[in-house]
Chains A and B, each alone.
Chain A
Amino acid sequence: MRKKLYFLCLLLSIFLPLIGGGCSTRKKELIVSAAASLKDSFEEIGKAFERENKGTKVLFNFAGSGFLRVQIEGGAVVDVFASAGEKDIDLLEKKGLIKRGTRRDFAENEIVLISPARSKLDLHSFSQLSQPVVKYIAIADPKLAPVGQYSKEFLEKQNLWKDVEKKIIPAGDVKGVLDYVARGEVDVGIVYRTDALIFSKAVKILAVPPRGSYTPPRYPIAVMKNCREPALAEEFILFVSSPTGQGILKKYGFRTVALGNG
């Protein structure tokens, strides 16, 4: 008897998920790979998009843009890619993995220097990073995430990189930097302004680079070549650029960008 029951459970555990899957195929599904810094704003945009387009489901895949690009190059099924910075989407475009004419910029961000909210360090400019009181500086790994490249580029332009290189703790993406700072494991970190705002209880902004001192991060979005729902995907991109989408992005601290192809 127990054996039979066990067997039944085993069968159920194998087939139940399939039955569920069978029902949901009527829903249109969109897989959106988006930069880690877009997590909160895009989740809200996704919900708003689902509300306006009944019967659709937007699934997100958030990570560092470089990592997302490698996934797509490796053949991951992705319908829309929203990247932080032009580099990764440029590389995909060169490889012909992007659907022509769908790419456009939709937002702009900036980098800021943050510390744990309770930090006693008296810092208010990037140049103080070379002081010995600053032991660890978390940035996103320049090899893995654009925010890391912006951080490095800025520090290099300020002639600070050489002095601080030894203090750098690279994290996988911008959320990793936030986590290190929020936990107080590092003294300071460099993240996007939008991330610092979301975590405003745990971290505080110490300094913001002056405009023009580095290339500000732009966010392009595009439909992928092997997209399964091209019409829906293009609609999603339009939605991100629509007043509703831009309003949500603004709420999270992004600078919005005039419509147009990137």
Chain B
Amino acid sequence: MDSSILFSLRLSFQVAFLATLLATPLGILIAYLLAMKNFRGKGALDAFFTLPLVLPPVVVGYYLIVLFGKNGIIGKFLYEATGWSIMFTWYAAVLASFFVAFPLMVKTTKAAIEAVDKNLVDASYTLGHTEWDTALKVILPLAKRGIIAGSILTFARALGEFGATLMFAGNIPGKTNTVPLAIFTYMTSGQYTKAHIMAVLFTLISAISLYMANKYGGSAIR
């Protein structure tokens, strides 16, 4: 296989893995808050974390540039302090994938936590466990399948991220061209054979991810 195809594959996995690594703990935390707590603005928070699921990735990319670009609201301070800008680096691809895939982690985990038997939670409190202990020893273990399924879905979505990545990380060969971006370049420059190989390969990988999410996730995502 072509070395550029191998690079894109490796980069895609690296990006998706790191995005999932970020999204999993953060997603569990947000999902726990949304499922177990009652507070003002909960509905708004829920909607906020679901938004990237329905927004066009291009819009997510736009916000990322406005926030984290060299002249962005946050990016400007980062650049002035360190002389470094995240744009056009592979970390930008991680951030883009993270934002786009995050809702899948939150939604799936929230559903799993909500499905935990409330009697067991109450029993844990009655037996004198703190909230921290209850969450770690009762709720999360019981919601384990949903959390695993959420991570796998997040990984699959992060792997396939295109629009926000194209805008925020750029399509730089040998640096930020993940598989979806490489397929786009091959396709638009008429290299159909390479586009074909990568598309089929990618479909297989995504299908395997979904199969695993179903298998390990069980009822949590069905």
Contact = CB atoms under 8 A, between A and B. Distances in A.
A165 to B, nearest CB: 10
B65 A183 contact: yes
Contact of B185 (A144, A169, A184, A186): A144
A170 B171 contact: yes
Interface stretch (A41-49, A54-62, A66-74, A98-106): A66-74
A38 to B, nearest CB: 18
Interface stretch (B117-125, B131-139, B187-195): B187-195
Main secondary structure of the interface of B (DSSP, over half): loop
Interface in B142-195: 166, 170-173, 185, 187-190
B188 A144 contact: yes
A231 B37 CA distance: 69
Nearest to A136: B88
Given A70-B189, A143-B189, A185-B85, A172 B171 contact: yes
A141 to B, nearest CB: 7
Contacts of B189: 66, 70, 143-144
Given A144-B185, A169-B170, A170-B171, A185 B88 contact: yes
B71 A184 contact: yes
B198 interface: no
Interface string A163-191: 00000111110000000000111100000
A135 B211 CA distance: 44
B65 A170 contact: no
Contacts of B71: 183-185
Contacts of B88: 136, 169, 185-186
Given A144-B185, A169-B170, A172-B171, A70 B190 contact: yes
Contacts of A172: 166, 171
Contact of B87 (A69, A73, A141, A185): A185
A73 to B, nearest CB: 7
Nearest to B176: A169
Contacts of B65: 183, 185
Nearest to A168: B172
A171 B190 CA distance: 17
Contacts of A143: 185, 188-189
A247 to B, nearest CB: 33
Nearest to B177: A170
Given A183-B65, A185-B70, A70 B188 contact: yes
Contact of B170 (A70, A73, A170, A184): A170
A173 to B, nearest CB: 10
Given A141-B185, A143-B185, A185-B87, A73 B190 contact: yes
A145 B116 CA distance: 55
B27 interface: no
A66 B188 CA distance: 7
Q: Specify which of B65, B172, B188, B189 lies most central, judged by the most chain A CB atoms within 10 Å of its CB.
A: B188
B217 interface: no
A245 B185 CA distance: 34
Contact of A170 (B85, B172, B188, B190): B172
Nearest to B70: A185
B103 interface: no
B70 A67 contact: no
Nearest to B171: A170
A243 B145 CA distance: 71
A70 B171 contact: no
Interface in A66-100: 66-67, 69-70, 73
B57 interface: no
Nearest to B170: A169
A70 B172 contact: no
Contact of B173 (A170, A183, A185): A170
Interface of A: 64, 66-67, 69-70, 73, 136, 141, 143-144, 168-172, 183-186
26 contacts: A64-B188, A66-B188, A66-B189, A67-B188, A69-B190, A70-B187, A73-B190, A136-B88, A141-B185, A143-B188, A144-B188, A144-B189, A169-B88, A169-B170, A169-B172, A170-B170, A170-B171, A171-B171, A172-B166, A183-B70, A184-B71, A185-B65, A185-B70, A185-B85, A185-B87, A185-B88
8 smallest beta-carbon distances between A and B, as pairs: A143-B189, A67-B188, A184-B71, A185-B70, A70-B190, A169-B170, A185-B87, A169-B88
Given A171-B171, A185-B70, 7 more contacts: A67-B188, A70-B190, A136-B88, A170-B172, A184-B70, A184-B71, A185-B71
